[in-house]
Structure 1
Amino acid sequence: QELGADAIIGMRYDATEFSDTITEVLAYGTAVKLTNRES
């Protein structure tokens, strides 16, 4: 929303545990802007 996107597609989630108390969480996706298309 901050960048003007209407939706996120192709989302990927990854988590890596470094120790018992530290976990890195990453989320990747492609932001898209939706428009109406005339037929």
Structure 2
Amino acid sequence: MARVRTNIEIEDRYLQAIMDRFSVRTKTEAVDLALRHLAGRP
């Protein structure tokens, strides 16, 4: 699967909640996890 670079504005409290809850270390990992979850991918 190809990756793309983008600039987005995200509510910091949501991003931090994902990072804390799922023990991910980077913002990129947190966004990737959330997008995969919403897309129905493991």
Structure 1-normalised TM-score?
Answer: 0.22
Larger Rg: 1
Normalising by structure 2, we get a TM-score of: 0.21
Bigger helix share: 2
* Structure having the larger proportion of residues in strand: 1
